[in-house]
């Protein structure tokens, strides 16, 4: 989360802001993976109260836990001014705030399981998808492009899928694997791109993204008889096995960061011309320059002092295997140096198990790979302590 890191650096590390927070508020950081119900409750409130929600998400609550105000990113000094306004409002109108917050509060509760009419569901799904799908670039319409794996998988498995949806699926899968959502050097998919054409990624790789998309590309390789889809699925699982495996637990780690050890976004992934010239021979660099640097795919690394832009590679037809090998093994950007969140999340590993099972079915992985993960999941699940 780029703006989370920006706020951490510019807001929370600011002495004046920290002192004000400590004096007037009790700051609590919610782990949305450990308490997804609380996270959903607060996000729903923010969506209703502010009209939008996202990260970094700030929600202000009464001492009894009733939310009454929310916002996302605010730079300093706006952030500190907002804190001051909230504090003054609470100081002079606490009773009014409490009454309003209680009156509008919705209890956290489980949603009852309802029987789904599959025919009606598929009809509604196709109708809504047709309205939202981007037929030019794939994915859904919008300023950002997320892979939306659950939508892709549902569309793939639709009975009697029509030609329009099939064409959209193929466009989406083609664009996602060939453009900048996919890391063509180290492998794996980024979480999303900040533009509608899949050109500028948010440089963060999540385990659940790899697991879901690997399975989807395996399914699509069967459905459309596409070897390139099979290759993408295999490359995605290879990235997971090489970069995210945690030998102590037998599970896979949750993510690799968008920022490097110096908190600079994209620095582990994007390449400057100087770095490319040092790593490649003149003929290879010429090919790279013709294929990459002449195209509008520049990515300016935030907070970088040099004015030089950096480039995030796309595969070239000539010399690509040699170039990819050299860059992947470069001393400038070793894959092992990318910061990794070592937390292993059982649910995400469960998604990965589905991908491994599909790979085994298609004879792309030996059965013991899936069996080993299944055993590790069961062992770790039995060790899990649920606090009441």
pLDDT for the residue numbered 83: 94
Residue 18 — very low, low, confident or very high, per pLDDT cuts 50/70/90? very high
> Measured between alpha carbons, how far is residue 352 from residues 38, 235, 361, 363, 370 in Å?
25, 14, 14, 16, 9
The span from the CA of 359 to the CA of 271, in Å, is 33
CB 249 within 8 A of CB 278: no
Q: What is the mean pLDDT of residues 230-234?
A: 97
Sign of the C-alpha dihedral computed for residues 42, 208, 326 and 193 taken in this order: negative
Coil, strand or helix at 246: strand
Distances, alpha carbon 193 to alpha carbons 144, 198, 203, 266, in Å = 6, 5, 9, 13
Q: Average pLDDT of 53-66? A: 91
pLDDT of residue 300: 43
pTM assigned to the model: 0.77
Residue-range domain boundaries for the chain: 2-104, 118-257+341-383, 273-338
Mean pLDDT of 281-301: 67
E-strand ranges in the chain read 58-61, 67-71, 192-193, 201-202, 205-206, 245-246, 251-252, 255-256, 298-299, 310-311, 340-341
What mean pLDDT is predicted for residues 62-79? 91
Predicted local confidence at residue 304, as pLDDT: 38
CATH 3.40.30.10 is the classification of domain 2-104: yes
pLDDT of residue 58: 94
Burial 165-202 (b: 16+ CB within 10 A, else e): beebbbbbbebbbebbbbbbbbbbbbbbbeebbbbbbb
- Asked if residue 56 has a cis previous peptide bond (ω within 30° of 0), the answer is yes
State the average pLDDT over residues 84-106.
90
Residue 316: pLDDT band with limits 50, 70, 90: low
* More reliable by pLDDT, 294 or 65: 65
Q: Which of 210-219, 228-237, 309-318 has the lowest mean pLDDT?
A: 309-318
* pLDDT tier for residue 275 given thresholds of 50, 70 and 90: confident
105-125 pLDDT per residue, tens: 766 555 566 788 888 999 999
pLDDT band at 195 (very low <50, low <70, confident <90, very high): very high
How far is the C-alpha of 323 from the C-alpha of 325, rounded, in Å? 5
Average pLDDT, the chain: 86
- Mean per-residue pLDDT for 170-185? 94
- Best-predicted range by mean pLDDT among 208-217, 288-297, 329-338? 208-217
Architecture, CATH, for domain 118-257+341-383: Alpha/alpha barrel (1.50)
Q: What's the whole-number mean pLDDT along residues 348-369? A: 96
Is the pLDDT at 138 greater than 80? The verdict is yes
What is the average per-residue pLDDT within 275-302? 71
User: Does the pLDDT of residue 303 top 70, yes or no?
Assistant: no
Q: Tens of pLDDT along 22-36?
A: 999 999 988 887 788
pLDDT value of residue 144: 92
Highest mean pLDDT among 246-255, 312-321, 363-372: 363-372
């Amino acid at each position: 989360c780029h703006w989370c890191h920006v706020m951490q650096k510019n807001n929370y590390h600011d002495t004046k802001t920290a002192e004000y927070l400590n004096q007037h508020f009790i700051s609590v950081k919610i782990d949305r993976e450990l308490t997804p119900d609380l996270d959903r409750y607060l996000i729903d409130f923010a969506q209703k109260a502010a009209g939008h929600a996202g990260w970094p998400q700030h929600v202000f609550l009464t001492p009894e836990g009733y939310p009454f105000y929310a916002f996302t990113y605010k730079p300093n000094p706006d952030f500190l001014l907002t804190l001051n306004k909230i504090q003054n409002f609470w100081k002079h109108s606490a009773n009014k705030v409490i009454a309003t917050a209680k009156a509008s509060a919705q209890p956290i509760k489980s949603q009852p399981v309802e029987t789904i009419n599959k025919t009606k569901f598929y009809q509604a799904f196709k109708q809504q998808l047709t309205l939202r799908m981007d037929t030019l670039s794939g994915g859904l319409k919008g300023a950002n492009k997320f892979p939306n794996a659950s939508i892709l998988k549902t569309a793939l498995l639709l009975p009697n899928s029509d030609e329009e949806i099939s064409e959209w699926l193929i466009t989406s899968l083609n664009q996602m694997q060939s453009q900048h959502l996919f890391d063509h050097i180290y492998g794996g998919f980024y979480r999303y791109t900040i533009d509608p054409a899949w050109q500028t990624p948010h440089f963060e790789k999540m385990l659940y993204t790899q697991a879901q998309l690997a399975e989807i590309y395996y399914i699509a390789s069967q459905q459309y008889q596409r070897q390139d889809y099979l290759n993408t699925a295999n490359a995605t699982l290879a990235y997971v096995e090489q970069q995210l495996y945690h030998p102590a637990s037998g599970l896979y780690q949750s993510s690799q960061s968008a920022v490097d050890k110096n908190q600079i976004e994209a620095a582990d992934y994007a390449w400057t011309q100087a770095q490319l010239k040092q790593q490649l021979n003149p003929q290879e660099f010429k090919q790279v320059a013709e294929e990459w640097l002449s195209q509008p795919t520049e990515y300016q690394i935030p907070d970088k002092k040099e004015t030089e832009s950096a480039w995030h590679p796309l595969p070239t037809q000539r010399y690509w295997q040699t170039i990819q090998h050299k860059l992947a093994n470069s001393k400038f950007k070793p894959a092992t140096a990318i910061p990794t969140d070592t937390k292993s999340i059982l649910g995400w590993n469960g998604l990965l198990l589905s991908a491994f099972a599909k790979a085994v079915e298609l004879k792309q992985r030996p059965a013991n790979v899936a069996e080993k993960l299944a055993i590790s999941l069961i062992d770790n699940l039995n060790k899990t302590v649920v606090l009441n």
